[in-house]
């Protein structure tokens, strides 16, 4: 139901991005909303203004003076004092890392981190990504049925980004678990009773990363942490040890949760219509376009956030200073004024790469090339080994209860009939 809010903004009182209906099918919720009449609306369930049009989302991304990144990972619900104390003592401050900092603090972290993601450096990782993907798929070579998320989409990006950071393999599962707590804290709706456990784990996660940097001070390796320490050695003021730990905090999460979702969503969308899978099997050159169209059609980061630093008008709605914005990237990616027939998955769409899945502007995703490469190789290896892969019928897909990271938690595929 639409009513009008205090600033004249339409309200959709029933919109709740953490409801079971939304989590299982946000696109059905999107289709039922009158978005052409109410492209910006207020959602009381989360106390956010929801922005759905491509041009309005782009405008917010490209005007950081008006639309601050500070809300990017702010908890959606109040945090109880006991949990807050644990977080604070553990070094988890309100503006805790690159993605939620504004200039100039943002650039201090982004510039050195960007060195690690130069196109050449990412392309150099290609053989490693292919080797890891091949090893993971060898393990399910003879399975008639397997979970493609558990077998490939989950371990591949984690192994790659943690190795890049220099995290020993034995610690990868622990780091993955901490990332689950982080998703719940910043993008979910944790009950007060769960917040202390989450906060304790966040403090342990922060301590682990600081310990990793300290250990690398004495024993450098061929990894990103050691590269960042080399910058610190040249000029300790330019990049402090605490800032290096903060960069690792950013990458350790952003570098895999997102890509796990991308691989899972791409495999799902390709197998949903077996003729799509058959098309990429017979023409693997289509795979990059299939990945790009998945980023548009079903982005693994469907929502990102901003907060206004001053009054502004967006999509015809007056926003007060401090208005919290839910930039619904998945809706912008289906804006018919940019993408004709937006609800159609089309691997030959000419402008699919204009999607909003990686954001825009100063915070544009640092790992976009790496995420694309990992997804491309994952699908290539899968298609080569399992040309007749199909989805297992009748399965129910589950999604982690958070607003910003989306991909099936399990995706059962049937591998029978492959040569």
Interface residues with ligand HEM (CB under 6 A) are 61, 69, 98-99, 110, 161, 250-251, 254-255, 258-259, 262, 299-301, 304, 357-361, 363-367, 370-371
Output the CA angle 309-315-316, nearest 5 degrees.
Answer: 95
Listing DSSP states for 203-248 in one string gives: HHHHHHHHHHHHHHHHS--SSHHHHHHHHHHH-TTTS-HHHHHHHH
CB nearer ligand HEM, residue 360 or residue 388: 360
The CA–CA distances, whole Å, from 270 to 39, 128, 274, 295, 413 equal 30, 25, 7, 12, 12
Distance CA 210, CA 176 (A): 17
Report CA torsion sign: 210, 214, 220, 221: negative
Q: Which residue has the closest beta carbon to ligand HEM?
A: 367
Check: CB of residue 70 under 8 Å from CB of residue 34. Answer: no
H-assigned helices in 12-149:
20-24, 26-32, 54-62, 81-89, 105-115, 119-124, 126-138, 148
Check: CB of residue 411 under 8 Å from CB of residue 148. Answer: yes
DSSP SS3 for 315: coil
How many other β-carbons are positioned within 10 Å of the β-carbon of residue 271? 18
Burial of 237 (0-12, 13-18, 19+ CB in 10 A): exposed
Check: CB of residue 389 under 8 Å from CB of residue 367. Answer: no
User: At its nearest, how many Å lie between ligand HEM and the CB of residue 405?
Assistant: 9
Minimal CA–CA distance to 50: which of 305, 322, 295, 378?
A: 305
Check: CB of residue 280 under 8 Å from CB of residue 383. Answer: yes
User: At its nearest, how many Å lie between ligand HEM and the CB of residue 81?
Assistant: 29
Burial of 381 (0-12, 13-18, 19+ CB in 10 A): buried
CB nearer ligand HEM, residue 50 or residue 415: 50
Distance CA 235, CA 213 (A): 16
**Ramachandran region, residue 111 (left: φ > 0; alpha: ψ -120 to 50; beta: rest):** alpha
């Amino acid at each position: 139901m639409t009513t009008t809010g205090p600033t004249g903004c339409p309200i959709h009182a029933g919109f709740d991005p953490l409801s079971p209906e939304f989590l299982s099918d946000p696109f059905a919720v999107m289709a039922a909303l009158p978005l052409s009449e109410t492209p910006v609306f207020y959602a009381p369930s989360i106390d956010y203004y929801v922005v759905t049009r491509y041009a309005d989302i782009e405008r917010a991304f490209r005007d950081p003076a008006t639309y601050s990144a500070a809300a990017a990972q702010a908890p959606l619900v109040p945090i109880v004092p006991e949990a807050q104390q644990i977080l604070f003592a553990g070094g988890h401050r309100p503006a805790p890392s690159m993605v939620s900092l504004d200039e100039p603090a943002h650039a201090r972290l982004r510039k050195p981190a960007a060195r690690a993601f130069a196109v050449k450096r990412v392309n150099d990782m290609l053989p490693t990504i292919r080797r890891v993907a091949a090893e993971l798929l060898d393990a399910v070579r003879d399975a008639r049925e397997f979970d493609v998320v558990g077998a490939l989409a989950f371990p591949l990006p984690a192994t790659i980004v943690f190795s890049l950071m220099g995290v020993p393999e034995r610690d990868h599962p622990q780091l993955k678990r901490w990332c689950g707590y982080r998703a719940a804290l910043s993008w979910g709706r944790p009950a007060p009773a769960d917040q202390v456990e989450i906060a304790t784990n966040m403090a342990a996660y922060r301590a682990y990363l600081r310990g990793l940097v300290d250990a690398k001070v004495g024993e450098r390796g061929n990894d990103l942490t050691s590269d960042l320490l080399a910058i610190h050695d040249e000029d300790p003021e330019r990049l402090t040890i605490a800032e290096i730990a903060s960069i690792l905090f950013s990458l350790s999460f952003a570098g895999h949760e997102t890509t796990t979702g991308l691989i899972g969503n791409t495999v799902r969308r390709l197998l949903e219509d077996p003729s799509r899978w058959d098309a990429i099997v017979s023409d693997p050159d289509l795979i990059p376009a299939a990945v790009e169209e998945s980023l548009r059609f079903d982005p693994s980061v469907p929502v990102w956030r901003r907060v206004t630093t001053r009054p502004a008008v967006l999509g015809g709605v007056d926003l007060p200073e401090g208005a919290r914005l839910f930039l619904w990237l998945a809706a912008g990616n289906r804006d018919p004024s940019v993408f004709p027939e937006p609800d159609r998955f089309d691997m030959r769409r000419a402008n699919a790469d204009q999607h909003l899945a990686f954001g825009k502007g100063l915070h544009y995703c640092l790992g976009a090339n790496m995420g694309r490469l990992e997804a491309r190789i994952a699908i290539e290896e899968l298609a080569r080994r399992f040309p007749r892969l199909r989805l297992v019928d009748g399965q129910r897909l589950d999604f982690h209860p958070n607003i910003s990271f989306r991909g099936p938690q399990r995706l059962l595929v049937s591998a029978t009939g492959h040569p």
